[in-house]
Structure formats: C-alpha cells, structure tokens
C-alpha cells in the first residue's frame, strides 16, 4: 500500500497524554501542509483518548501550537495560499492555517474512530496488558493493512505483536519528551517486522524532521536501557552515603554532583521526578521481566507506596517527587521516615559544599557550554582532573562517569545498540547531555 | 519660488527612550507603557522648557498606525494628556506612514505661518511592540498600496521593497562595495547611538560592527539583499517640539539662542499605486529636499548636520544621493570614507538615526527635528558635534519614498 494513501487517515491512541499530544501535533501539522499541497485528497487525523476534558485541552493545544508554527512558516504559507484571493496578510494566513490543522482532526473516546486508519500511533500508558488489549481491539476494527507504531519506551515489540495478533506489523517509534521539540526518534525494529513498515517508519520520521537512531528489540531499548541503570547507580550511591550523612542529605549530594559535576541539565533524581517515579518503577518492572538483570529498587517501591510520584501537572509544571520544587527548581528532599520534605537551606548548602569540596571549575556549566564551539576540548580538559579525584564531589562524579560508560558499552555488547555512536547520540539528543557516556575522558 | 510668509522657529525639543530589543529595560514578556505614557513623558519634557504651557495655542500629533498596533484612534484628543492646559484647544492627529512626524511638523508650521497660532506643540508617537514582528509587518505594510501590492509583497513587506532597491543598487554599482557601504552605515549608526543615552542601540557592545553588518543576507529566512542589521528596529517612543513665531518664543521665555529658524520647507508626495520610477534613486526625497534647500538658498556643502530616514541602510545611502551630497552611486565612497560620521564632512544621524536610535514610526520625523535642534543649539550632550556651519536638514520619508517632508533649519 502506498505510503501517501496511508497518510490520509491516521490515528493516535492516547492522544491527549504528555507524549501523545506532542505526537498528535507533529502529525497534525504535517497533515495540514500535506492537505494544502494535495487538494484532491482528503485527510483525517483521529485523536483518541479516555477523557473529554483532556481531548478539549488537546484541541486548544493544537490550535495554539499551529499558530506558533505558522508564525515561523509564513513565507511557506504565502506560497501555499498564493491562489487564495481572500488571504492577503500574514495574520490572515496564520489563522487560516490553524483552521486547516483542526479541519482534519476528529477527537473521541472510542477506538472505532480508527476504523479506516492504516497507520496507528499508540502513546497509551506504559502497561503491557493495556497495550495488548488496545492492539487486539484495533486489529479487529482496522483494515488488515493496518500498521502500529508504538511509543513504548521499554516493552519488547515482538511480545506485544504476538500477544495481539499483529505479528510483523508493530514497530517501536519512541519519541522523546517533548516530541514536538525533541529531534531524537528511536526506532525499534523487531526481527520479523514487515519491510513496508520499516520503510514507512523511516519515511515518516524524515517528514517530521527527526533524527533517527535505530535500536534492537530488547526491553528498555537504548534510552531506558541507559537511564534505568544510571538511576539505579544514583540510588545505590545514596544508600552508601546515607550511612554516614543520613538519607536526605545523601539524596541531595548525589543529585547535586550528577548535575553540577557531570554537567548534566538535571540531577539524576530531578530527572526521575521529571519522568515520574511511577513510570520509572513501571519501566524497571518491564525490563526486569524480560532481562532478569536485577533491575529493581526497594526505595522506588517504597516511594510509590507513600504516594511520592513526581511527573508534571497538565500545564507542564514539575510536581513534587523525590525532590520538592519551586518554579521548577529543586528546593527540598523527601524524607521517607517523616514522610515530609526537608528544605535545602543555606546552612545545608554550606555543609554540602564542605563535604563535596570545591567544584573543579565553576565556569563549566551545562547551560554555558551549550553553544560553545570549543566544548569538546573544554570537557576533555575538565574531566582530565577527575582521573585522580581529590574531593568527594570529584570521586562521586568519576564513579558516575565510569558506571555510565559501562552501561553504554554493555548496551552495545548486548546488541541493544548497533554501535557506540548510537548510544551517545541517544543520550546527547534525547537527554540533552553535553557528551556521550562512551567517551575516553577518564582513560 | 515659494517662501515662508514670516520667520518661523523650532524650540524646546525632547524625546523619550526608544524602547524595544536592545534596551536593557525591554522584556517582551512583561507589560510595557502604552501611548498615554509616551505622550505624557515627551509632552512634559517639552513643556517643562517653557515659561507657561498654557501659552501653547494648538497641538498636532503625528502617528501612523495606533489604530492597529494599539486599537486606538482619535489621537488628537488623546494628545491632551501632554498637559491639562491643552483642554479645549485645537488638536489633531496627522498620518503619512513613516512621514507622519514630518507631516505633523508641516501642519504646525502652516498653522503658525497662517497667523492663526503663535506656538504649536508638535508631537509624534508610535508604540509598536504590541505584536510579534510577523504581524507588525502586516501593519507597517499599510504604508504601501494594500490592494495592489500586499498579496504578492512577501512576509516582510517593507524590508522586501528596500531589499529590491538594495539589489538594484548592488547590480548597478557593485554588490561587494554596496554591501560594504551598508555595513559601514550600520556600524556608524550604532557608534552614534552609543553616545545617545536614549537610543535603542545605546548599550550595543558588539566589537566588530562592520563584520556583523557584512552578514550575508538570507532570502530563506528574510530578504535577498539586506540582512537584519540593515534594518531599523521595532520601537516604542515619542518626540515633541514647539513650532513658533519670534513673538511666540519670546512669550514662552526663550531667546534666539534657544531656538532654530525654519528657513526651508519642502513637501512632496508621489502616487502610492505606482512602482518607483528608479529603484536606485529616492526621487520624492530629492524633490522635497531640493525645494527646502532652494527656499533656504543653500547648497549641499552648506549643511553642517543632517538627519535622514534610514529605515534601512540602503535608504540612508540613497538619501545622501537625494540630498546631492554625492552623484548616483557615489554614496558608497562617501560612507566608506566615513564622511557621514560625526567626525566626517557631513555629520549624519548624530543621535543614531532610525537604525541606531530606533524607529517609533510616527515619532521619527519629530525626533529628527529635535536632534537637529539639539545640535544647532549646542544641546546634544555626549553626542554634540562641533558646529562649524549654520544649517541642518532633515528628510522625513513615508512608505517607499512616497510622502516626504524636508526642513532646513538655521541656528
């Protein structure tokens, strides 16, 4: 079946969620441009989710984002609308484009909307049974040519496909958060995937201007394959440091080192909160089920039992989790013993400075190095000092770098990633790291 | 030849900061002052220089598009915010695109020349940072012929018109030299603005301005023959000055040293629906400024200070040619030799001009008159140029050289 024909009727399941809404936006914008360029064809984008409120929010989001996109694409719009006598000003074309985007969208709570779709994008909650249930329903409803592109970040595709009767017709299409902005798309191709689906997946990624990194069908893939183990390393370090400094301070120390010493955008516990402690737990469970690799954390289970979940509000603000937040910045740490947050105050910051030792070079920051043309040389010189660590901060950071590198190398050795560069690209693009984990900084 | 019926003067000029990107106090995400604030601030700054604001007979305010930028019409009435004593006096708003300020001066001048008024408060105002640039381009596009030009006029309508002029100029006189001259125009504008605390580019600390001005134009994101540094910025601001007779300024408590005489006045408009007869010449600007110089009885070389409407660097170059300071194409050598700098033979746009100070469209013509008045009366502070000649000239231009007001002033 021709890809252009498939693209005329698309469905997103779980469309109003954090990932689903971004995927819906990307597809909606692409479809609107496609429709303006192919006026003889009809295009439909079905957006399915379980809440009317969330779907209405999604429509508002699509409209706002379509306007923002159109404001950046006015020159293109002026060409596309050249034959529309009634549209003269930039503003008129921008509004017309936003209307065009919504013209193709159908929202609803029933999967029956997908009945004419031959490409279905799934971004439902990361639960195997839930996904299998949805796939079975879709397999029964949709045309037999239907292909399923799932945003799962951990569940093996072959298992999902076989359990739902869609053998060879499911591919992993793992967007990173937020999908509309993030360049990275991890495509996970099961061994028995139909060639037409492989080709379609790559062609669509190109349309959406994504950078594709291929992974093999092994639970967790590259992104979570690294992140989960990286997070577990941080938790293990906390356990060790807690004996001497107490649990709360140990969390704060590890979080601080993993951000400021490793020059990452977020500390490890801030990142777990960002993803959601509950999602972190779910992914660990999925990976452990398939890999049997000791991927388990009693601390994480305890957090969930106590209702410490993190994640974001519908407006994108960070909710409290392992850490407490004000204006998106960590200001406190959850104490499981008292079930309350302990503020990171000035006295504690001073104490932490004394414990960790001076930062090796305060001029080196994640933000400052973003667009530095000499970044690589500066990183190499900076990390060279970590080979013989003279402070606790440097020791923790050096251990973290080595652990992260070992995880990356193992992903290649285990066949999850095809090559070192793919692991590094996922971490640099998907996690906004300044450098890949597989590096020679400490050699 | 036309002559003014009596001696006319400009007195007590002032303008506000030009607010927009580049100013440290500008934050696009925070609320900003509106038209009311700028009218009050500039009005107060003018009227505080005279003995009694109640002596002002009339008011004129130039404004281009408040009806769209701020959803506000009826600026003649809003202008009374400048001072309570204007209540019930004749005030009005005039419009001629970016020459609105120039037209306000012309209107005030006519009132005083007619004998109906002795002193007229002339102001100009524009507050443009209310919309994103892509919508601002639509609004400013109203200075062109909407029905005939807008549909095929590109995203950024006016930059596109002047990019076409820059392209024709480059083809005729050499692209590399033209680009060099445009880059030098930009560099000089910023250098001048660094001395003017109210200029939008006052805080610009770029080390190599010429190198920045040489940035190759990008037709995909903007225009084929001009880059963003060739453009004046989006600005909020206001300016004011008093047009008066001798009796008028004396009654206001001022002396001849406080004022400059308007000795030449030219005003020309060209058909909005026709393309420019020559892309490499500002024929309307040439006509209006020649008329003003003839009335003043001066030659181009008599000019000691100059204000031109450099909405784009190419317009700056072409304006020097319209003033007959150079032959066609000769503005390149003039600018590369630095003759337009404050230290050159023809100090031009000494407070930064539209590219350096900013371009609150309806205020720009009045702001030019204020800068000439400041230079000719020795009130320009850090950007004062030693005045060895007695005359200054300004060209206030609207649209693609369609409405032009030119004044020659004598100290």
ipTM of the shown complex: 0.92
d(CA A382, CA B143): 56
Sign for the CA dihedral angle at A342, A343, A346, A351 comes to positive
A95/chain B closest Cα distance in angstroms: 12
Do A71 and B134 make contact, defined as CB atoms within 8 angstroms?
yes
* CB atoms near residue A216 (< 10 Å): 18
Q: How many residues does chain B have?
A: 411
Q: Which of A67, A71, A89, A91 to mutate to test the interface with B (most CBs of B within 10 A)?
A: A89
pLDDT tens digit sequence for A171-197: 999 999 899 999 999 999 999 999 999
Q: Which of B155, B158, B220, B223 to mutate to test the interface with A (most CBs of A within 10 A)?
A: B155
Strand partners, A185: A175, A212
DSSP letter at A111 equals G
Q: Tell me which residue in A75, A85, A88 faces B155 most closely, judged by beta carbons.
A: A75
Delimit the CATH 3.40.50.720 region(s) of chain A. 3-215
Q: Which residue of B has its CA nearest to A74?
A: B155
**Which residues from A are below 8 Å from B when comparing CB atoms?**
71, 74-75, 78, 82, 85, 88-91, 94
Q: Which CATH code, of 3.40.640.10, 1.10.1040.10, 1.10.286.10, 3.20.20.150, is assigned to A223-430?
A: 1.10.1040.10
Do A88 and B146 make contact, defined as CB atoms within 8 angstroms?
yes
Reported as type and span, the H/E element at residue A158 is helix A157-164
d(CA B259, CA B252): 11
Do B132 and A71 make contact, defined as CB atoms within 8 angstroms?
yes
Sign for the CA dihedral angle at A417, A422, A428, A433 comes to positive
B221/chain A closest Cα distance in angstroms: 8
pTM, full prediction: 0.90
Please state the φ and ψ torsions of residue B71, each to the nearest 5 degrees.
55, 35
Delimit the CATH 1.10.1040.10 region(s) of chain A. 223-430
- The arithmetic mean of pLDDT across residues B138-162, rounded, is 96
pLDDT exceeds 80 at position B43: yes
d(CA B356, CA B201): 5
Instruction: Answer for the pair A228, A236: CB distance below 8 angstroms, yes or no.
Output: no
pLDDT lower than 50: segments of chain A? none
What is the average pLDDT value for chain B, to the nearest integer?
A: 97
- The arithmetic mean of pLDDT across residues B244-261, rounded, is 98
What is the side-by-side order of every strand in the sheet holding A340-343? A323-326, A329-335, A340-343
The first and second tokens of residue A435, run together, are 């450098």
d(CA A202, CA A46): 22
Strand partners, A45: A10, A105
pLDDT of residue A315: 75
The first and second tokens of residue B297, run together, are 């009885």
d(CA A298, CA A284): 11
d(CA B171, CA B169): 6
**Distance of alpha carbon B200 from its chain centroid, rounded?**
14
pLDDT tier at B1 (50, 70, 90 boundaries)?
low
- The arithmetic mean of pLDDT across residues B115-126, rounded, is 98
Looking at the domain A3-215, which fold is it?
A: Rossmann fold (3.40.50)
DSSP letter at A133 equals H
What is the side-by-side order of every strand in the sheet holding A119-122? A105-108, A44-48, A9-13, A119-122, A147-150, A170-175, A184-188, A211-215
pLDDT tens digit sequence for B82-107: 999 999 999 999 999 999 999 999 99
pLDDT tens digit sequence for A341-371: 999 888 888 999 999 999 999 999 999 999 8
pLDDT of residue A313: 82
Q: Tell me which residue in B138, B146, B220 faces A90 most closely, judged by beta carbons.
A: B138
A131-A133-A135-A140 Cα dihedral, nearest 10 degrees:
-170
Please state the φ and ψ torsions of residue A405, each to the nearest 5 degrees.
-65, -45
Q: Which of B65, B131, B138 to mutate to test the interface with A (most CBs of A within 10 A)?
A: B138
């Amino acid at each position: 079946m021709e890809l252009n024909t498939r693209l005329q009727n698309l469905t997103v399941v779980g469309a109003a969620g954090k990932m689903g809404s971004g995927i819906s936006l990307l597809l909606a914008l692409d479809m609107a441009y496609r429709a303006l360029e192919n006026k003889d064809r009809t295009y439909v984008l079905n957006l399915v989710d379980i809440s009317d409120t969330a779907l209405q929010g999604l429509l508002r989001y699509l409209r706002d984002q379509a306007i923002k996109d159109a404001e950046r694409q006015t020159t293109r719009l002026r060409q596309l609308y050249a034959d529309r006598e009634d549209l003269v000003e930039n503003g008129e074309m921008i509004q017309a484009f936003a209307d065009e985007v919504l013209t193709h969208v159908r929202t609803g709570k029933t999967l029956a909307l997908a009945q004419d779709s031959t490409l279905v994008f799934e971004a439902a909650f990361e639960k195997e049974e839930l996904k299998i249930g949805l796939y079975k329903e879709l397999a029964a409803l949709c045309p037999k040519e239907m292909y399923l592109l799932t945003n799962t970040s951990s569940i093996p595709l072959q298992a999902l496909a076989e359990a739902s009767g869609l053998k060879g017709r499911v591919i992993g299409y793992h967007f990173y958060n937020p999908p509309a902005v993030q360049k990275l798309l991890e495509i996970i191709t099961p061994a028995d995937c139909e060639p037409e689906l492989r080709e379609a997946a790559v062609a669509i990624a190109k349309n959406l201007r994504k950078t594709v990194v291929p992974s093999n069908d092994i639970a967790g893939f590259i992104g979570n394959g690294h992140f989960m183990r990286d997070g577990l390393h941080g938790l293990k370090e906390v356990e060790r440091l807690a004996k001497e400094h107490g649990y709360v301070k140990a969390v704060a120390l590890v979080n601080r080192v993993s951000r400021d010493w490793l020059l990452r955008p977020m500390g490890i516990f801030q990142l777990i909160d960002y993803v959601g402690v509950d999602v972190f737990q779910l992914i660990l469970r999925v990976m452990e089920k398939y890999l049997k690799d000791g991927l388990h954390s009693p601390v994480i289970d305890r957090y969930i039992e106590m209702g410490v979940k993190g994640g974001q509000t519908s407006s994108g603000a960070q909710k409290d989790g392992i850490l407490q937040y004000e204006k998106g910045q960590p200001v406190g740490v959850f104490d499981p013993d008292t079930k309350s947050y302990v503020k990171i105050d000035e006295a504690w910051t001073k104490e932490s400075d004394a414990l960790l030792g001076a930062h090796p070079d305060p001029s080196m920051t994640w933000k400052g190095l973003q667009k530095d043309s000499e970044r690589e040389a500066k990183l190499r010189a900076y990390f060279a000092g970590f080979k013989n660590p003279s402070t606790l901060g440097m020791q923790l950071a050096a251990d973290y770098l080595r652990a992260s590198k070992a995880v990356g190398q193992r992903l290649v050795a285990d066949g999850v990633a095809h090559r070192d560069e793919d692991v590094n690209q996922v971490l640099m693009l998907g996690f906004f790291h300044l450098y890949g984990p597989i590096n020679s900084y400490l050699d | 030849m036309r002559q003014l019926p009596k001696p006319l003067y400009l007195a007590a000029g002032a303008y506000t900061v030009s607010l927009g990107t580049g100013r440290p106090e500008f934050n696009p995400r925070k609320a900003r002052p509106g038209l009311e604030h700028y009218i009050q601030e500039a009005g107060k700054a003018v009227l505080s220089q005279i003995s009694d604001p109640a002596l002002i007979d009339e008011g004129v305010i130039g404004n281009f598009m408040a009806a769209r930028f701020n959803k506000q019409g009826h600026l003649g009435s809003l202008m009374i915010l400048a001072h309570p004593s204007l209540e019930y006096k004749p005030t009005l708003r005039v419009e001629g695109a970016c020459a609105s300020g120039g037209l306000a001066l012309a209107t005030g001048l006519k009132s005083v020349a007619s004998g109906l008024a002795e002193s007229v408060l002339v102001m100009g105002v524009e507050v443009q940072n209310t919309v994103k640039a892509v919508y601002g381009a639509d609004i400013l596009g109203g200075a062109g012929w909407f029905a005939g030009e807008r549909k095929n006029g590109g995203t950024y309508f006016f930059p596109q018109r002047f990019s076409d002029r820059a392209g024709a100029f480059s083809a005729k006189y050499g692209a590399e030299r033209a680009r060099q001259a445009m880059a030098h125009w930009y560099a000089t504008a910023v250098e001048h603005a660094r001395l003017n605390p109210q200029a939008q580019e006052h805080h610009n600390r770029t080390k190599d301005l010429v190198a920045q001005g040489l940035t190759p134009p990008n037709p995909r994101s903007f225009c084929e023959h001009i880059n963003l540094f060739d453009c004046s910025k989006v600005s909020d601001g206001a300016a004011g000055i008093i047009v008066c007779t001798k009796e008028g300024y004396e009654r206001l408590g001022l002396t001849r040293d406080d004022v400059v005489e308007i000795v030449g006045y030219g005003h020309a408009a060209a058909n909005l629906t026709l393309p420019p007869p020559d892309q490499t010449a500002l024929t309307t600007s040439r006509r209006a400024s020649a008329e003003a110089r003839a009335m003043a009885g001066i030659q181009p070389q008599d000019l000691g200070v100059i204000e031109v409407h450099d909405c784009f660097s190419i317009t700056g170059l072409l304006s020097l040619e319209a003033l007959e300071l150079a032959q066609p194409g000769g503005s390149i050598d003039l600018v590369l030799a630095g003759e337009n700098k404050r230290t050159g033979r023809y100090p031009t746009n000494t407070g930064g001009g539209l590219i350096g100070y900013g371009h609150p469209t309806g205020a720009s013509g009045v702001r030019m008159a204020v800068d000439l008045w400041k230079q000719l009366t020795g009130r320009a502070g850090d950007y004062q140029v030693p005045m060895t000649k007695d005359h200054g000239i300004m060209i206030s231009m609207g649209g693609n050289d369609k409405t032009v007001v030119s004044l020659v002033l004598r100290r």
